[in-house]
Structure 1
Amino acid sequence: MPTPPSSLADTIAAPPRHHRDAAAALADVRSRYDAGIGLLSEQLQRFIAGEELTQRVRAFYPYVALRTDTVARAETPLAYGFVAGPGRYETSLTRPDLFGDYLLNQFELLLRNHSVALEVGCSAQPIPVHFSFAEHHHIEGSLSPARRLLLRDLFDLPDLGAMDDGIANGTYEPLPGEGGRVTQPLALFTGQRIDYSLHRLRHYTGTTPEHFQNFVLFTNYQFYIDEFIKLGHELMKADRGAAPLFEGGTRGAEDSYVAFVEPGNVVTRRTGCTLEPGDFLGAAPPRLPQMPAYHLVRHDRAGITMVNIGVGPSNAKTITDHIAVLRPHAWIMLGHCAGLRTTQQLGDYVLAHGYVREDHVLDEDLPLWVPIPPLAEVQLALEEAVADVTQLERSELKRVMRTGTVASTDNRNWELLPQRTPERRFSQSRAIALDMESATIAANGFRFRVPYGTLLCVSDKPLHGEIKLPGMANHFYRERVNQHLRIGLRAVELLRRNGIDQLHSRKLRSFSEVAFQ
Structure 2
Amino acid sequence: MEDKQSIVNNWLPRYTGTAVEDFGKYILLTNFDNYVEKFASVMGVEVRGRDKAMRNATCDDISMINFGMGSANAATIMDLLSAVKPRGVLFLGKCGGLKRKNELGDLILPIAAIRGEGTSADYFPPEVPSLPAFTLQRAVSSTVRDHDKDYWTGTVYTTNRRVWEHDRAFKKYLRRTRCMAIDMETATIFTVGFANSIPAGALLLVSDQPMVPDGVKTDASDRVITEQYVDSQIAIGIDSLKEIANEGRSVKHLRFD
Contact residue 95 and residue 204 of structure 2 kept, 8 A: yes
Q: Distance in 1 between matches of 2:179 and 2:122?
A: 24
Contact residue 132 and residue 202 of structure 2 kept, 8 A: no
Distance 1:466 1:375, change over 3 A: same
Shift of 1:261: 5.1
Work out whether 1:376 is the aligned partner of 2:134. yes
Work out whether 1:337 is the aligned partner of 2:95. yes
Q: 1:319 aligns with which of 63, 69, 77?
A: 77
Alignment-mate amino acid for residue 54 of structure 2: M
Contact residue 329 and residue 450 of structure 1 kept, 8 A: yes
Distance 1:503 1:424, change over 3 A: farther
Shift of 1:374: 3.9
Structure 1 counterpart of 2:58:
295
Give TM-score scaled by structure 2 length. 0.92
Distance 1:340 1:329, change over 3 A: same
Which structure has the bigger radius of gyration?
Answer: 1
Alignment-mate amino acid for residue 291 of structure 1: M
Structure 2 counterpart of 1:310:
68
Question: After the TM superposition, which residues 195-274 of structure 1 pair with which residues of structure 2 at under 5 Å, given as runs?
Answer: 195-233=6-44, 260=45, 262-263=47-48
Structure 1 counterpart of 2:157:
407
- Structure 2 unaligned spans of 5+: none
Shift of 1:323: 0.6
Contact residue 346 and residue 460 of structure 1 kept, 8 A: yes
The one-character-per-residue Cα deviations of 1:421-454 (angstroms, maximum 9, x if unpaired) are 3223322222111111111111111111111111
Q: Distance in 1 between matches of 2:39 and 2:81?
A: 19
Structure 2 counterpart of 1:434:
182
Contact residue 217 and residue 334 of structure 1 kept, 8 A: yes
Question: After the TM superposition, which residues 30-49 of structure 1 pair with which residues of structure 2 at under 5 Å, given as runs?
Answer: none
Structure 2 counterpart of 1:478:
227
Shift of 1:327: 1.4
Shift of 1:411: 0.9
Alignment-mate amino acid for residue 332 of structure 1: L
Contact residue 131 and residue 190 of structure 2 kept, 8 A: no
Q: CA RMSD in A?
A: 1.8
Contact residue 261 and residue 296 of structure 1 kept, 8 A: no
Shift of 1:232: 2.1
Shift of 1:375: 2.9
Q: Distance in 1 between matches of 2:216 and 2:166?
A: 14
Q: Distance in 2 between matches of 1:424 and 1:470?
A: 26
Q: Distance in 1 between matches of 2:107 and 2:140?
A: 11
Alignment-mate amino acid for residue 448 of structure 1: N
Shift of 1:460: 0.5
Higher relative contact order (CA 8 A, sep 6+): 2
Q: Secondary structure at the match of 1:373?
A: coil
Distance 1:346 1:414, change over 3 A: same
Shift of 1:502: 1.2
Please identify runs of 4+ aligned residues in structure 1 that moved more than 6 A: none
Contact residue 292 and residue 309 of structure 1 kept, 8 A: yes
Q: 2:171 aligns with which of 423, 429, 440?
A: 423
Work out whether 1:468 is the aligned partner of 2:253. no
Q: Distance in 1 between matches of 2:224 and 2:189?
A: 28
Q: Secondary structure at the match of 1:367?
A: coil
Report percent identity of matched pairs. Answer: 30
Distance 1:479 1:263, change over 3 A: same
- Structure 1 unaligned spans of 5+: 1-157, 164-192, 234-259, 265-286, 298-302, 505-517
The one-character-per-residue Cα deviations of 1:373-412 (angstroms, maximum 9, x if unpaired) are 34331121111111112x24xxxx3xxx110001111111
Structure 2 counterpart of 1:358:
116
Contact residue 132 and residue 199 of structure 2 kept, 8 A: no
The one-character-per-residue Cα deviations of 1:239-275 (angstroms, maximum 9, x if unpaired) are xxxxxxxxxxxxxxxxxxxxx45325xxxxxxxxxxx
Q: Distance in 2 between matches of 1:447 and 1:261?
A: 32
Distance 1:470 1:196, change over 3 A: closer
Q: Distance in 1 between matches of 2:195 and 2:225?
A: 35
Shift of 1:470: 4.1
Distance 1:210 1:373, change over 3 A: same
Q: 1:447 aligns with which of 173, 192, 195?
A: 195
Q: Distance in 1 between matches of 2:172 and 2:179?
A: 10
Alignment-mate amino acid for residue 441 of structure 1: I
